[in-house]
Amino acid sequence: MGIDVTVLRVFTDADGQFGNPLGVVDAAAVPHAGRQAVATALGYSETIFIDLPGNGSTTAHGHIFTPVTELPFAGHPTVGAAWWLRQRGTPVNTLQVPAGIVQVRYDDEQTAVIARS
């Protein structure tokens, strides 16, 4: 069974060069127990699995995996996921990851996240 993976690069320069690649996956496509294997197969430094917000909600939930473990938080996958959500027509105000709530801001073509350390 194939799954759809969006590959993004965040923190690129003005010409879209450089940046950190990551995978973004709709979490409904992969049970939690299978996510580590998907992240390992993809081989990116991080892959984020997003549970889309429910009707009327402005919060999505994310789980971030490296090829070897799940992380409570990482910056570039949260930025990439926020951008991905907006592109698919479901912009959010917050993204819930295991470490806590991440605020999301959209400004024209820019996407930013704000998290507490």
Residues carrying an active site annotation: 46
The sign of the dihedral angle between the CA atoms of 90, 75, 6, 23 is: negative
- What H or E segment, with its residue span, contains residue 9? strand 6-10
Residue 49 CA to its chain's centroid (Å): 6
